[in-house]
Amino acid sequence: MRVKILGCSGGIGGDLRTTTMLIDDDILLDAGTGVGDLTLEQLVKIDHVFITHSHLDHVTSIPFLVDTVCWMRSQPIVIHTTRDTIRILKEHLFNWKIWPDFSQIPDGDNPFMVYEEVTVGETVKIGKREFTAVPANHVVPAVGYLIDSGNGSLLFSGDTSTNDALWEVANRTENPRYLIVETAFSNKEREIAIASKHLCPSMLAEELAKLTRQVEVYITHLKPGEVALTMNEIEKEAAFWHPMMLECGQVFEF
């Protein structure tokens, strides 16, 4: 399994892209602005999109993806996410006002896009690749994902604040290799982090203290303009884990 980071920033500007991962050549995990860097040939190959939550930085490219490639495909693109997020996407994005409802185009029996509901703790298998939604604690219904190739696994927190359930999953995972965890704000914005249900470095340290397994820790969703500050704070507060900054273009093979 090959996971390529197409976007991992908390914002845009220059070469920054919002949360997007490409898994092998047929699956996206979140569909932020990073999707736009794929070629048309690559876009056509996307069969599945797993979504953590409905915030725009994670779903903004689904409408453009479906609209761009639908005429070139014989199968619908499958959007995997929770029942709550499906409802929000239907009501607030694919509602004919912001964007057409591609789950009804060209018709409801044979649409360009379909939704598949995921439930926390249940594993979706695509070939040998396993995706399990894990709990997240955010201002809208949200999940993270545990991705397992059979040889190893990558745990992605999604957008989350303090989240004991995530560490319970991490601690009982059989073959953990990588942890990608958000830290959206620096310490001086701890109050904003709490209110918006994200993490800051001091909160990240409190969270990582609950982790009993040996994994490589990568930080995502850093706010543009505060990247160096936040990473410096993380290096001090969570030194034991040697967290590294997740980079656009980075590839994990496991």
Q: How far is the CB of 56 from Zn ion (least distance, A)?
A: 8
What stretches of the chain show up as alpha helix (H) in DSSP?
A: 40-44, 56-59, 62-69, 83-92, 164-172, 190-195, 201-208, 227-237
Nearer to Zn ion, 69 or 192 (CB): 192
| CA distance linking residue 27 with residue 46, whole number of Å | 6
Distance between CA 174 and CA 35 in Å, rounded?
Answer: 31
Least Å distance, CB 250 to Zn ion, is 18
Which listed residue (57, 148, 233, 237) binds Zn ion by CB under 5 A? Answer: 57
CB nearer Zn ion, residue 1 or residue 8: 8
Residues 30, 148, 159, 233: which binds Zn ion (CB under 5 A)? 159
Nearer to Zn ion (CB atom), residue 56 or residue 251: 56
- Measured distance CA(79)–CA(62) in Å, rounded: 9
**CB 54 to Zn ion: min, Å:** 8
Residues 114/118/124/130 CA torsion (nearest 10 deg):
120
Query: Which amino acid does the sequence have at 113?
Result: M
Q: Which of 55, 80, 177, 223 binds Zn ion (CB under 5 A)?
A: 55
Q: Taking the complex as a whole, how short is the minimal distance between the CB of residue 19 and Zn ion, in angstroms?
A: 6
Nearer Cβ to Zn ion (42/162):
162
Name the segment binding Zn ion (CB under 5 A); options: 48-56, 129-137, 171-179, 229-237: 48-56
**Site for Zn ion (CB under 5 A): how many residues?**
3
- Smallest CA-to-CA distance from 202 within 189, 217, 220 is with 189
- Is the separation of the CB atoms in 134 and 169 below 8 Å? yes
Of the pair 57, 237, the CB lying nearest Zn ion is at 57
Q: How far is CA 17 from the centre of its chain?
A: 13
In the region spanning residues 169 to 208, those forming contacts with Zn ion, defined by CB under 5 A, are: none
Q: Enumerate helices (H) and strands (E) in the chain, giving the number of each.
A: 8, 14
CB under 5 A: which stretch of 1-9, 57-65, 69-77, 120-128 binds Zn ion? 57-65
Q: How far is the CB of 45 from Zn ion (least distance, A)?
A: 25
Could you give the 3-state DSSP secondary structure of residue 184? coil
- In the numeric block, the tokens 């997020």 are attached to 85
Closer CB to Zn ion, 1 or 29, in the complex = 29
Which CB atom, from 33 or from 149, has the smaller least distance to Zn ion? 33
Contacts with 133 (C-beta within 8 Å, 6 or more apart), sequence order:
82, 118, 119, 120, 121, 122, 143, 144, 145
Applying CB under 5 A, which part among 91-99, 152-160, 170-178, 233-241 lies near Zn ion? 152-160
Only segment of 76-84, 91-99, 127-135, 154-162 that touches Zn ion (CB under 5 A) = 154-162
Residues near Zn ion (CB under 5 A): 55, 57, 159
